[in-house]
A and B are shown apart, each in its own frame.
Chain A
Amino acid sequence: MRILARFWKALGSMNLTILLCLLLAADVVWGYAAIRWRTALFIPLNDLGLFAWMQTYGRHNLTYTGWFFALLVLLALLALNTASCTLERVRHVLAARSSLSVVRLAVKLGPHVMHAAVLVILLGYLASYLYTEVVVGTVLLPGRSYTLPGDAGVITFVEFRHEVYQGSRLKVFQGEVIRPEAAMMLSAKGRQREAILGFNQPVRLNGYSIHLSDFAPKKPGGMRLNKRIDLHIRKDPGVVLYLTGIGMFCLGLGLYMLDWRMYREVRQ
């Protein structure tokens, strides 16, 4: 038990944090080069899921993907290091709570809330890569519909609207669609609503987010391509976690700044 306690305490060491950060930096340099040389290896990670990717692309190309496995181990160690360090310090703060006002106690917990937020964000990404349900390669033509997995809803591509570049400064873009927008009809549980789908403007239906990944034609009256939109559909349980993490981080940062403003200035 004492060994375990010692191990847990050592896990929260600042030296370990610094070492892990240095190793992470070295690892991502390897990762940068690997992604640059073999981009196609990492594209499926977005839709296959972590385990399926590791069993296929990952383990068959270790020269280029080894850094990712190392990254997972290093991040796991960093998460344990952060958890150990944070819990230890929170324990000390709580032990001294009787001598602190509620506000003082809250602001003292600020940095630890930020650390906990980082862990929640990391957990969110892990959940995303492990449990996201993804549908790739869905193509819709005007007037056509797609039923989401498990009959979660029906999306219908009503019409393609677009904004064409009409300026004169960028000649290469003249007549090109610069803002594609697809009018969609979303139906679920007997209710219908209209929504506009565009780049960086996904629509949501029953837990699924529907993203525009490509469209045609890029230039009205150009190459004779049929009107179509390509969709990337996902149901990502990690989003809630990393949004929560971001919220927690903002709260922690606010408390930390309050601490700095209210108490440290007084001390100085």
Chain B
Amino acid sequence: MRGVSVRSTAEILLVGIVLLVFLLSGCRQEASQDSDKEDRSGGEARPAFLQIGEFAVHRISANRTEVRDGAGRTLILIPRGAPVPDDCDPRHVVRTPVKRVAAYGYFDVAALRMLGVLDEVLVGVTVPEKEWARCSADVARGMREGRTAYLGDASSIDFERLKQMEPDLVLTWDPSSLPLLDDLHIPAVITSTPQATCLSARMRYVQFLAPFFGREKEADAYFARIDAALRDIRARTAGAGEQPKVMWGDIYEKRVMVEPGNAWVGELVGLAQSSYQFEDVFGTSCIEISVERFLYSGETADIFFTYRSRESGASSKEAIARLNPLIKDIAPLRSGRVFAPQPCYIQSMDKLDEILTEISAIIHPDLYPGYMLKYFDELPDRDTAHDKDTRS
């Protein structure tokens, strides 16, 4: 009886495995069929579905692409001139290629530059011209020539001005603008995500925006460039003997903010044969942690990247210690190295390959002899006379 039962069990299990294989092979078959439907325009096959962190692009047909933005909303991209299907909410339809864009964040503006459409499409920004002049001459020129308008600070947008600029699309990190944009019948994409952007998503974000402008080739070329830089970093650092410990964050009025381990900087540090001190922290970018946790990690860290720039007071280790007496004893301030972003860092995400290489060069200076920093400043122990004069 027992023998029969065991044999029967084996039969059932066999049926289960056959079902599983059938299901999976069915999926594979569908996937391969789907790949036949891939967009081969331009002679290059494109995946029908592309996941980019919390963003996604789903090419359903030549006349319909669905994208999922950072807030989980689905937008439907329909080519200009093609009919809008009945099942589409008109508020979520974006006509492609998009010709006029308002962008809230530096990163979105940089993404437009990566795609080679910035001069043609950017009609509104939330940062005044003088802030762009130093590192983003193209944006500043557009503002001077009247093609691009300053829409007001991101937290208090002048929606009348926005309406005058007649954008086809708004790229924003601020969900509170959605109801007002809905009223103006302007589709919007939320470009921030609840979780920090991982390295892969940071590299591929441009592939999420590409279908809006029909610039997939440019996006692929950009991704290939960043991928090549990463390969180079991996190859160069593979044999690195020492694994420096890195921390990235700062303290603002007793609130400690850091980049979590799932953020692109955390992943990059790990990839460059070094150790990220907040690898176990998971969540949103610039996440708040306790002072104790920060100090504990600071005891053994070798390198500290601060969010503050020289302009916001990070002119030397001494200045940082003065700003945040709580962290004056962490190892990088006493005996390690501290780096602050230069003003162009935040506006230069279109040069992500250079930024990644620079971070790797900072971590392993011996592997990059003669490297000149372009996006970060290494802070001296004490303020120079010039810094003191500027402060006074």
Interface centre among A9, A16, A141, A216 (most CB of B within 10 A): A16
Q: Does A250 belong to the interface (CB within 8 Å)?
A: no
Selected from B6, B13, B201, B290, the residue in CB contact (under 8 A) with A172 is: B290
Q: Does B16 belong to the interface (CB within 8 Å)?
A: yes
State the CA gap A16–B13 with chains docked (Å): 8
State the CA gap A223–B253 with chains docked (Å): 13
State the CA gap A225–B20 with chains docked (Å): 50
State the CA gap A185–B58 with chains docked (Å): 37
Contact with B along A223-253 (1 / 0, CB 8 A): 1111110100000000000000000000000
Q: Does A196 belong to the interface (CB within 8 Å)?
A: no
State the CA gap A139–B49 with chains docked (Å): 27
State the CA gap A47–B51 with chains docked (Å): 16
Contact with A along B290-333 (1 / 0, CB 8 A): 11000000000000000000000000000000000000000000
Q: Does B244 belong to the interface (CB within 8 Å)?
A: no
B83-97 CB contacts (< 8 Å) to partner A:
none
- Whether B24 lies near A137 (C-beta < 8 A) is no
Contact with B along A10-38 (1 / 0, CB 8 A): 11011110010000000000000000000
Q: Which residue of B lies closest to A223 (CB)?
A: B155
Name the B residues within 8 Å of A39 (CB-CB).
195
Name the A residues within 8 Å of B72 (CB-CB).
43-44, 47, 136-137
Name the B residues within 8 Å of A66 (CB-CB).
24
State the CA gap A62–B24 with chains docked (Å): 9
B21-62 CB contacts (< 8 Å) to partner A:
23-24, 27-28, 30-31, 47, 49, 51, 53-54, 56, 58
State the CA gap A10–B16 with chains docked (Å): 13
State the CA gap A142–B332 with chains docked (Å): 46
- Whether A10 lies near B20 (C-beta < 8 A) is no
Contact with B along A208-232 (1 / 0, CB 8 A): 0000001010000001111110100
Q: Contacts A15-B5, A137-B72; is A40 near B195 (CB within 8 Å)? A: yes
Name the A residues within 8 Å of B291 (CB-CB).
171-172
State the CA gap A44–B73 with chains docked (Å): 10
Selected from A44, A136, A140, the residue in CB contact (under 8 A) with B71 is: A136
Selected interface stretch from A53-61, A97-105, A113-121, A258-266? A53-61
Selected from A10, A11, A73, the residue in CB contact (under 8 A) with B23 is: A73
Nearest CB of chain A from residue B71's CB, rounded to whole Å: 4
Name the B residues within 8 Å of A6 (CB-CB).
8
B190-220 CB contacts (< 8 Å) to partner A:
190, 194-195, 198, 201
Name the A residues within 8 Å of B164 (CB-CB).
none
Q: Does A164 belong to the interface (CB within 8 Å)?
A: no
- Whether B6 lies near A15 (C-beta < 8 A) is yes
Q: Which residue of B lies closest to A170 (CB)?
A: B290
Nearest CB of chain B from residue A64's CB, rounded to whole Å: 10
Give the contact-size bracket for chain A.
35 or more
Nearest CB of chain A from residue B194's CB, rounded to whole Å: 8
- Whether A40 lies near B51 (C-beta < 8 A) is yes
- Whether B176 lies near A10 (C-beta < 8 A) is no
- Whether A13 lies near B51 (C-beta < 8 A) is no
- Whether B12 lies near A228 (C-beta < 8 A) is no
Nearest CB of chain B from residue A209's CB, rounded to whole Å: 17
- Whether B47 lies near A73 (C-beta < 8 A) is no
State the CA gap A72–B190 with chains docked (Å): 33
- Whether B11 lies near A10 (C-beta < 8 A) is yes
Contact with B along A70-97 (1 / 0, CB 8 A): 1011101100010000000000000000
- Whether A19 lies near B13 (C-beta < 8 A) is yes
Nearest CB of chain B from residue A134's CB, rounded to whole Å: 9
- Whether B254 lies near A172 (C-beta < 8 A) is yes
- Whether A73 lies near B9 (C-beta < 8 A) is no
Q: Contacts A15-B9, A69-B27; is A44 near B56 (CB within 8 Å)? A: yes
- Whether A10 lies near B5 (C-beta < 8 A) is yes
Q: Which residue of B lies closest to A59 (CB)?
A: B27
Q: Does B271 belong to the interface (CB within 8 Å)?
A: no
Name the A residues within 8 Å of B239 (CB-CB).
none
Name the A residues within 8 Å of B58 (CB-CB).
56
Q: Does A144 belong to the interface (CB within 8 Å)?
A: yes
State the CA gap A208–B304 with chains docked (Å): 49
Name the A residues within 8 Å of B16 (CB-CB).
73-74, 77
Q: Does A195 belong to the interface (CB within 8 Å)?
A: no
- Whether A60 lies near B288 (C-beta < 8 A) is no
- Whether B254 lies near A171 (C-beta < 8 A) is yes
- Whether B51 lies near A60 (C-beta < 8 A) is yes
- Whether A230 lies near B175 (C-beta < 8 A) is yes
Q: Does B370 belong to the interface (CB within 8 Å)?
A: no
Q: Which residue of A lies closest to B153 (CB)?
A: A224
Name the A residues within 8 Å of B392 (CB-CB).
none
Nearest CB of chain B from residue A237's CB, rounded to whole Å: 21
Q: Does A41 belong to the interface (CB within 8 Å)?
A: yes
- Whether B155 lies near A226 (C-beta < 8 A) is yes
Name the A residues within 8 Å of B390 (CB-CB).
none
B residues near A (Cβ < 8 Å) are 5-6, 8-9, 11-13, 16, 19-20, 23-24, 27-28, 30-31, 47, 49, 51, 53-54, 56, 58, 68-69, 71-73, 153, 155-156, 174-176, 178-180, 190, 194-195, 198, 201, 254-256, 288, 290-291
In addition to A57-B56, A172-B254, A230-B175, 5 A-B residue pairs with Cβ atoms within 8 Å of each other are A60-B49, A69-B23, A137-B72, A139-B176, A224-B153
Q: Can you list the 10 inter-chain pairs with the closest CB atoms, starting with the nearest?
A: A10-B8, A137-B73, A226-B176, A228-B176, A137-B71, A224-B155, A136-B72, A59-B27, A15-B9, A16-B9
A residues near B (Cβ < 8 Å) are 6-7, 9-11, 13-16, 19, 39-41, 43-44, 47, 54-62, 66, 69-70, 72-74, 76-77, 81, 136-137, 139-141, 144, 171-172, 214, 216, 223-228, 230
